[in-house]
């Protein structure tokens, strides 16, 4: 049996047994998100397409799948969705500026060796592509943290309906602080783990520490990690503020 099929079956079985109906939905959502990302990348290769617009559309669809399809449509998911989209807009603007100023777009010296026979004049704005890559790399963590904050805030309000907006906001901030450290570290290890082979290559090529830090491919990865950390930090006050406003105001 193909290893991919076998691993998919094992994952589905575990998610179905442990997560029940929601686990099955989460498994299906994985493949739907994969199709969305694959379609976005394929359309992005069209020179007439705007990578930023495509990224916003893809992030909106992914957020809807992760929030509304898996967790149903309710106050928790609605506030998490609004918070996610607002954070994505702010983060995308920031990432575009950082990408343009840091010149991390395109390929690094270590990546172009096997591409020298191809033409790089393909009519695509690589600044926008680089910004899109960063934002799509962090959308999952941002969405996850948004629902992880709005859900307990909803429960706090349900059990203490007379709680003030300020106290509910502070409760959301307290929850977010507990999530921030683990979320930032998750992004770090997820991204950095994929580049262990590159670090081994740097060692084989006798790169100095300065050469490693200044290598475009390494800098791009570090900037992705830092921008992702900014995203998971920014989503905390935004989600806490929107959720507290909606819950207390709805009374």
Q: What pLDDT, in 10s, does the model give residues 145-159? A: 889 899 999 999 888
When pLDDT is cut at 50, 70 and 90, the band that residue 7 belongs to is confident
- Start-to-end CA distance of the chain, whole Å, equals 56
* pLDDT, mean of residues 208-216: 74
pLDDT value at residue 110: 55
Q: pLDDT averaged over the chain?
A: 81
Find the Cα–Cα–Cα–Cα dihedral 54, 188, 82, 157, rounded to 10°: 160
Is the pLDDT at 67 greater than 80, yes or no? yes
pLDDT value at residue 239: 92
Q: For the chain, where are the E strands, in sequence order? A: none
Is the pLDDT at 218 greater than 80, yes or no? no
Is the pLDDT at 15 greater than 80, yes or no? yes
Q: What b/e sequence results for 97-127 when a residue is b if at least 16 CB atoms lie within 10 Å of its CB, and e otherwise?
A: ebbeeeebbeeeeeeeeeeeeeeeeeeeebb
pLDDT value at residue 169: 92
* pLDDT, mean of residues 59-63: 90
Tokens of 90: 């702010």
Give the CA angle between residues 203, 205, 209 to the nearest 5°.
Answer: 55
pLDDT value at residue 107: 60
Q: Tell me if residue 2 falls in helix, strand or coil.
A: coil
Is the pLDDT at 209 greater than 80, yes or no? no
pTM: 0.80
Which range of 42-56, 117-131, 182-196 scores highest in mean pLDDT? It is: 42-56
* pLDDT, mean of residues 171-176: 89
Q: What is the CA radius of gyration of the chain?
A: 20
Is the pLDDT at 1 greater than 70, yes or no? no
pLDDT value at residue 112: 57
Is the pLDDT at 237 greater than 90, yes or no? yes
**Half-sphere exposure for 89 (CA within 13 Å, toward CB):** 7
Backbone φ/ψ region at 72: left (φ over 0), alpha (ψ -120 to 50), beta: left
């Amino acid at each position: 049996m193909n290893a991919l099929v076998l691993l998919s079956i094992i994952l589905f079985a575990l998610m179905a047994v442990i997560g029940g109906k929601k686990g099955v939905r989460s498994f299906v959502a994985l493949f739907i998100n994969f199709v969305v990302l694959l379609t976005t990348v394929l359309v992005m290769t069209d020179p007439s397409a705007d990578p930023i617009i495509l990224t916003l559309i893809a992030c909106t669809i992914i957020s809807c799948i992760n929030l509304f399809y898996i967790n149903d449509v309710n106050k928790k998911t609605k506030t998490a969705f609004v918070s996610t989209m607002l954070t994505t807009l702010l983060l995308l603007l920031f990432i575009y500026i950082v990408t343009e100023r840091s010149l991390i777009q395109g390929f690094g010296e270590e990546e172009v060796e096997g591409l020298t026979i191809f033409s790089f004049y393909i009519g695509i704005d690589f600044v926008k592509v680089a910004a899109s890559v960063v934002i799509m790399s962090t959308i999952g963590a941002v969405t996850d943290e948004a629902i992880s904050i709005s859900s307990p805030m909803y429960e706090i309000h349900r059990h203490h309906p007379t709680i003030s907006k300020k106290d509910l906001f502070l409760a959301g901030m307290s929850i977010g602080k507990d999530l921030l450290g683990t979320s930032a570290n998750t992004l770090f290890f997820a991204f950095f783990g994929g580049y262990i082979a590159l670090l081994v290559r740097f060692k084989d090529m006798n790169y100095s520490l300065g050469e490693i830090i200044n290598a475009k491919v390494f800098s791009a990865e570090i900037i992705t990690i830092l921008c992702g950390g900014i995203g998971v930090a920014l989503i905390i006050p935004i989600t806490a503020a929107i959720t507290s406003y909606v819950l207390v105001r709805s009374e």
